[in-house]
Structure 1
Amino acid sequence: MKLSRIAAAVAAAALAPAVLLSSPAFATGQEAGAPAAPTAPDQAPADQPGQDEPGKDQAEQDRKAILAIIADPMASAYMKEAGLKAIADGPAAMRKFIETGQHTIRRDDYRVLIARLANDAGPGLIKGIKDIFRADATLAELRHFYEVTQHELRDDDNKVDISRLIGTGGSAVKEAGKEALKGTPADRIAFLKTGQYLAQASDDRVELARIDEGWDGPLLSEAIGKLLNGSATPAELRHFLQVTQYELRDQDNRVAIAKIIDGGGPELVKAGRAALAGTAADRSEFLKTGQHEARAKDKKAQQEKEKEQQEKEQQEKPEQDNSGSGSGSGSSTGNSAVTPQGGSGSSLASTGAGDSALIAGGAGTALVAGAGLLLASRMRRAASAR
């Protein structure tokens, strides 16, 4: 058994040089596994049909290499089209595609991929994209930017976004955001994708409870109670705070205004109806200040009306007193105080002698008047006789 193995080994050693010398690679001076020269092989004479085998092998290798290139998920439609065209055009076209064409196309493809990054990029990444395009980067630089640099710049932008959320968010958002900043780039991506919304939902529940505590309207309070006692999603909580609560506030305000103007003064009713016909901001303003201003106007108008009524009553009272004292026989007994016209205003005592003088004066006046009438009559008669 051992002798047969030794004999086989000796035979193999003797045959190895002969096999090596007869192989095509050794005969053409190429190392095993090295790609063939890109130039086309010389034409073999008609009596040597095996001379073109190396060229055929190279073309087949190029064809397989091109098929692998265009099968890559990163290969663009233009890369696939150019590769298939090179295969169809023959060995020389395939060799040119492998040596230069694919690299030119790949460089353009990376530029397209990098440009697309700007669609959802932050300011830092956008600046990096502009900078690499201005530099007319090589294929290696473009590949490094796409595979490495863009992720670094995107993480810097994420840090800025998280810091902004921490500055404006509630306690839960602040705490979760700070933890994300301490973590990895993946932690920051997760926070911006989902974590911030879960933390915001916790803060929103606290805010809804605070609103309910300070609000008197029934509609908003009832809706908040249902929301907090249910299983609302973060998106539903956010929408309620940003939209629904204001709609319900306005409905509660309408009900409150209707109650206020019921039985109110004219100015209050006028202002309340204008608020009901206006915007939600008009109704809020009416409840905050407008109703009080309208009430003050109604109060002032009522006070002025009462004052006018009192003045009118005071004016009518003396007239009633005067009409009551002057309803006697017109005769007076005893002394009466009189004020002579143009006098000093002091009262004079009227006596019997004074009455006689007045009577005599009146009689004299009557005689003079009669004489005047008689004279006038005579003059008219004389004039008519002429």
Structure 2
Amino acid sequence: MKLPRVTAVVAAAVLAPAVLFPSSAVAADAPQPAGVVGPDTAEADRPTGAPGPGPAETGRPVGSEPGTTAPEGGVTQEELDRAEIERILADKDSGISVREEAQKALAVGTPEALRRYLAEGLEVARYIDDRVKVFQALAVGGPAVKRAAVAAVTAQTHSALIAFLKEGWFTAQAEDDRDEIERLLADPQTSRRLRLAAQKALDAGTTTALRHFVEVELADVRAGDDRVEVTQILSKGGPAVQKAAREALNGSYADLVKFLKEGQFAARAEDDHAEIERIVADPQTGPHTRSAAQKALDRDAAGLRGFLESELAAVRMSDHRVRVSQIAESGGPAVRQAALAALEGSDQAVLGFLEYGWDAARAKDEAAAKAGGQPTAQPTTQPTEQAPATTPAPQDTATAPTGQAAPTGQVVQAAVGSTGSGTGTRHAPTTRATTTGTVASRPGQLAATGAEGLGTEAGAAAAAVAAGAALVVVSRRRRPTED
């Protein structure tokens, strides 16, 4: 008997089994037509292209030829074969090679062609289709499925392929499903909802429960988690991110996945670029920050994000420290002390000084200035309020006894010595003869107030007061003589 002839497509499938076609996970041999015995195990294990079964293997009596009348019912073998081939074509589980060879046999139409297909071509076509199914499982399966599929293909027997498709595939798939569920449970990123569903399937322990979770529940729970994640991104994102997130939430699940994988990053880069442009345009931005921001505008999406998350705080702190240094140079004692303390401290200390420490220190300086200026504006003792004969004027403690009134000439000289020519320059000590004796006058001391070392304005005011007091004293002393 000649070897069976197959089509170019069938031969290509045998030589290149990596060509995959969608098919179901279970394949079974089609029942044989009435009066024909199907291939036994030996026939299934027969290598491709081996001679077909003889009369003893087919169950036909020796000398029985296709097209002859059957022993009972008056139906010919050709009619039985044609009906069986048509049934195979109507079976939804028939593979591509099986269908193609069946259609060719019907197209030839001779009793010999029909019998040859059922006796030999059908088994070869089934072997090719089952081999393709195993390679399909190998391509998409997990580690356990891949190992079982490789073992079935390596055996090079049809029975090994059938055993894998009927049982081995499902056993290996259950092992892979269990491993996938355990991996989800061990992943810290797994959401609470997904974790509960995975644990429930794992506790059930059946292959059906494991497969249902992986094929159905996993996608549903992840879709809910993805929607929650998009909503969270929407609440924290900028204008562009918010717009893209809303569009994803209003679309399909594929839109959600695309936003999480791509859309959010493109929208965030747009928001980051706009934020850096705002920093550059802000008049309150320091020089170091503005320079760094201008350079960051030329970066890609990752560079923009890196500037805002990592570099911006550092350059801003540099500008803050420069500002505090400037305040320390121009501020009062309290401000200077607080500013220098902040510069020696942490970044939080610098920020705290700028936020509230500066105002507090400046208030201290202003209060100290008001308290220190009060004696200058209001002398401790007013010369005009002193009695002319009994209340002594302030004098040098080295020459004037306590309780003795200073001579008129000494008062005037003290006033002149304090003010000089109006520039605040002190004069050398001088002596004047008075009616009570010679008294040395100390430069820089005001006769009426006892203030010493005052500035030009304070000295002039005090001199005026002292001069007025001296004139009052002189006028009162001369009044009895004139009378």
Q: Given the alignment of the two structures, is residue 73 of structure 1 paired with residue 155 of structure 2, yes or no? A: no
Residue 196 of structure 2 aligns with which residue? 127
Provide the aligned C-alpha RMSD in A. Answer: 4.5
Residue 240 of structure 1 corresponds to 307
Does 1:145 pair with 2:206?
no
Say if 1:253 and 1:284, in contact at 8 Å, map to a contact too.
yes
| Aligned position for 2:268 | 200
Contact 1:267 1:294 in 2 (8 A): yes
CA distance in 1, matches of 2:250, 2:362: 59
Where 1:259 maps in the other structure, the secondary structure is: helix
Give the stretch that moved more between structures: 129-138 or 98-107.
98-107
Q: Which amino acid aligns with 1:30?
A: V
Q: Which is worse superposed, 149-158 or 248-257?
A: 149-158
Aligned to 1:357: none
**145-154 vs 66-75, greater mean Cα deviation:** 66-75
2:291 aligned with 1:222, yes or no? yes
> Is the CA contact (8 Å cut-off) linking 2:244 and 2:267 kept in structure 1?
yes
Query: Structure 1 length normalisation: TM-score?
Result: 0.60
Aligned: 1:110 with 2:177: yes
Give how far 1:307 is off: 4.1
Q: Which residue of structure 1 aligns with residue 365 of structure 2?
A: 298
For 1:120-159, what per-residue CA distance to the aligned partner results, in whole angstroms no more than 9, with x for missing partners?
54443333222222232434x4334323432222222111
CA spacing shift, 1:314–1:165, aligned 2, 3 Å: same
Distance 1:165 1:76, change over 3 A: closer
Task: Return the offset for 1:111.
Answer: 1.7
Cα distance change, pair 204–155 in 1 and its aligned pair in 2 (3 A):
same
* Kept after mapping to 2: 8 A contact 1:66/1:98: no
Which deviates further from its counterpart, 246-255 or 164-173?
164-173
TM-score (norm 2): 0.49
Shift of 1:262: 0.8
Show the counterpart of 1:351. Answer: none
Question: Match of 2:183, as an amino acid?
Answer: R
- The share of aligned pairs that are identical, in percent, is 31
Match of 1:324 in 2: 406
The answer to whether the Cα contact below 8 Å between 1:125 and 1:150 also exists between their aligned partners in 2 is: yes
- Give the match for residue 333 of structure 2: 266
Q: Which amino acid aligns with 2:247?
A: E
Q: Select the structure of larger CA radius of gyration.
A: 1
SS in 1 for 2:406: helix
Write the deviation string for residues 252-298 of structure 1: whole angstroms up to 9, x where unpaired. Answer: 11111111111433322221111111222211221121112112222
Cα contact 2:231–2:245 (8 A) shared by 1:
yes
- Residue 176 of structure 1 is matched in structure 2 by 244
Residue aligned with 1:149, SS: helix
Higher helix proportion (structure 1 or 2): 1
Q: 1:98 to 1:256 in 2, by over 3 A?
A: closer
Whole-angstrom distance in 1 between the partners of 2:162 and 2:296: 69
Contact 1:121 1:154 in 2 (8 A): no
SS in structure 2 at match of 1:206: helix
Question: Where does the alignment leave 5 or more consecutive residues of structure 1 unmatched?
Answer: 1-24, 42-49, 331-386
